[in-house]
Structure 1
Amino acid sequence: MSTFKPAADEVAALGHTRIALGVEYKGSRYSGWQRQASGVPSVQLALERALSKVAASPISVVCAGRTDAGVHACGQVVHFDTQAVRPDKAWVMGTNAELPHDISVTWMRQMPADFHARFKATARRYRYVIYNDPIRPAHLGEEVTWNHRPLDVARMAKAAEPLLGTHDFSAFRASQCQAKSPVKQLHHLRVTQHGQMIVIDVRANAFLHHMVRNLAGVLMAIGSGDKPVEWARQVLEGRDRKTGGVTAHPYGLYLVQVEYPAPFELPGRYLGPHFLTGFERLMG
């Protein structure tokens, strides 16, 4: 399958249309977002195959943020260029008809040539969902992280406070992270409880590889009482990943929103995951 992507100033000249899509998926069956040379199942590969059938020509997509194996998305954004002319409905309903049950296109929008799903994004938002109960859940086993030890949400929320703002997040960065800089700006980091569910809701200008899962691991260690509240700040200031504890499981992690400048006018959609939508009024 072709991976050719014309530059923005070439799109119109080549007679291409740039299209953006909203995509949601359950990541449990996939090796992650990114298409791999080995051909193992990935979200990108499944989406490109479905779109190529609708377009009757090869389609290659660019996403806002690559997710790891087992990680889910409710608000992934992608773009692609095509010469195919199809009704708007075809790019949504037609593509969904070709997709497996655990991937869905939620909206489409024809975009100007200078739109880029990754590089034009101004912020990204993730939610990490923990099921906190002594008994392992029979449902949502691959969609939440189960923690059997009682977690103190107030301690977790207090520990999160020093992490807000612009910092060097090297201690929360995976060793294989390819980001040019470990400095990121955390706009909010909220910990809330809804029955047996604890939700870590985090928004930033960008994220490092495994950053949210490492944040979740630190906060859960504090919530369980294994570490003091001050430990989150100490890990941050130490800038050493080896001091940052265990990387939390991918199951409970969701990319829920990608933000862009207002002139692009991308469609809005409720924040997920679906089983948490009843808490939207409380979570904001």
Structure 2
Amino acid sequence: MRLRIDLAYDGTEFHGWATQPGLRTVQETLGTALATSLRVPSVAVVCAGRTDTGVHARGQVVHTDVSREVLTASAGRSPDDPLVALVRRLNGILPPDVRVRRAAEAADGFDARFSALWRRYAYRIADRPDLLDPLTRSHVLAWPRPLDEERMNRAASDLVGLRDFASFCKQREGATTIRTLLDLCWARTPDGVLVGTVRADAFCHSMVRALVGCLVAVGEGRRPVEWAAQVLRAERRDPAVSVAHAHGLTLEEVAYPVDDELAARDQLTRARRTQP
């Protein structure tokens, strides 16, 4: 059976999602906990979005495959449903900066990565002294100058849609940088924190943080509103675009189609993206 696991973590002490020899990662930490809980040698886990070092998640989604008999046996004498018992055991084993929120049997055709319709990230910035809070320093970027969200939104509007985001990505050989950016907008919370919402079908490496870095330069007036569109059209990395710090970024949500459309979405996602 395939399990869907909904996961949250504080990325501060992790070297990102993906397993790396000798480094503490979310994938390795979760995989080890699952193997211990299920009493098996190892467990492979696949996530919806690979977060970078220092990036957080409230809405990460993971899948793993396990024998139904193994899952049932792992519950032992617990009167609870085996999946309920699994969540309880995992949260007893995992360190406090990783929490499993739920586990469920996935529908046929579900793939945490390839079945996803979109991922939504939030980037949080405190750009005034009265907003600086030591208790939120691990997930809100403290910025020393005020930012104009109206300018940032005007610049962001030129980036939304099906585009080649090569200017905002660390490129990998043979990988496409074409993505559909569904939303990119900035608004303040009631207490004044500036929050950027970024939603797309998928993201390439460092894309969100590069977009944020570009728009921050516009927001504080160092660059004109038109600069973001100019960078995009160049379709190559611009050294003038700073990649924003990782700790301000959180993966908030991943959306999936209804069950009978999962397999079709998987096939569509695996196809190489092209611009019309």
CA drift of 1:89 comes to 0.6
The answer as to 2:228 corresponding to 1:242 is no
Tell me the distance in 1 between the aligned counterparts of 2:261 and 2:253.
14
After superposition, what is the alpha-carbon deviation per residue over 1:88-134, rounded to whole angstroms, capped at 9, x for unaligned? 11221111110000100111110245321111112111111111124
Q: Could you tell me which residue of structure 2 aligns to residue 269 of structure 1? A: none
Q: How much has 1:39 moved relative to structure 2?
A: 2.7
| TM-score normalised over the length of structure 2 | 0.85
User: Counterpart in 2 of 1:78?
Assistant: 62
**Cα distance in 1 between the residues matched to 2:101 and 2:23:** 25
Check whether the contact 1:123–1:258 (CA below 8 A) recurs between aligned residues: yes
1:131 alignment partner in structure 2: 126
Aligned match of 1:94: 89
SS in 1 for 2:208: helix
Q: Say if 1:152 and 1:65 are closer, same or farther in 2 by CA, change over 3 A.
A: same
TM-superposed CA distance for 1:34, in Å, is: 0.8
**SS at 2:91's partner residue?**
helix
Whether 1:159 aligns to 2:145 is no
**Corresponding residue for residue 20 of structure 1:** 4
User: What letter is aligned with 2:31?
Assistant: E
Q: What secondary structure does 1:121 align onto?
A: coil
Query: RMSD between aligned alpha carbons?
Result: 1.8
Label 1:179 to 1:201 Cα distance change in 2 as closer, same or farther (>3 A): farther
Instruction: After superposing the two structures, state which structure 1 stretch, 59-68 or 104-113, moved more.
Output: 104-113
Counterpart CA distance in 2 for 1:256 and 1:143 is 12
Residue 21 of structure 1: CA displacement?
0.3
Q: TM-score, normalised by structure 1?
A: 0.83
SS in 2 for 1:48: helix
What is residue 142 of structure 1 aligned with on the other side? 138
Paired residues of 1:54 and 1:90 also in contact (CA < 8 A): no
For residues 82 and 93 of structure 1, the distance between their equivalents in structure 2, rounded to whole angstroms, comes to 17
Q: Which residue of 2 aligns with 1:34?
A: 18
Read off the aligned partner of 2:63 and give its amino acid letter: H
Q: Report what 1:261 is aligned to.
A: 257
Quote the residue 1:46 is aligned against. 29
Which stretch of structure 1 is more off in the superposition, 221-230 or 132-141? 132-141
CA offsets 1:255-274 (integer angstroms, 9 cap, x no match) = 111111112799xxxxxxxx
Change beyond 3 A, Cα 1:92–1:265: farther
How far 1:179 sits from its partner (Å)?
6.9
**CA offset at residue 244 of structure 1?**
4.8
Is the CA contact 1:130–1:197 (under 8 Å) kept in the aligned structure 2? yes
Most deviating of 237-246 and 78-87? 237-246
User: Using the alignment, how far apart are the partners of 1:77 and 1:199 within structure 2?
Assistant: 22
Structure 2 residue aligned with 1:228: 224
Q: Which letter maps to 2:228?
A: A
- % identity of equivalent residues: 40
Instruction: Determine which of 233, 248, 253 is the counterpart of 1:252.
Output: 248
1:66 to 42, 50, 54: 50
Counterpart in the other structure of 1:174:
170
Aligned residues: 248
- 1:54 aligned counterpart, secondary structure: helix
| Counterpart Cα distance in 2 of 1:209 and 1:94 | 33
Structure 1 unmatched ranges of 5 or more:
1-16, 267-284
State the Cα distance separating 1:137 from its structure 2 match.
3.6
Alpha-carbon distance change, 201 to 178 in structure 1, aligned in 2, over 3 angstroms: farther
Q: Which residue of structure 1 aligns with residue 271 of structure 2?
A: none
Give runs of ≥4 in structure 1 deviating > 4 Å: none
The 8 Å contact of residues 107 and 259 in structure 2, kept in 1 or not, is answered as no
Shift of 1:44: 0.8
* Cα distance per residue 1:47-99 (max 9 Å; x no partner): 11111111001211111111110000111110111121241112211111100
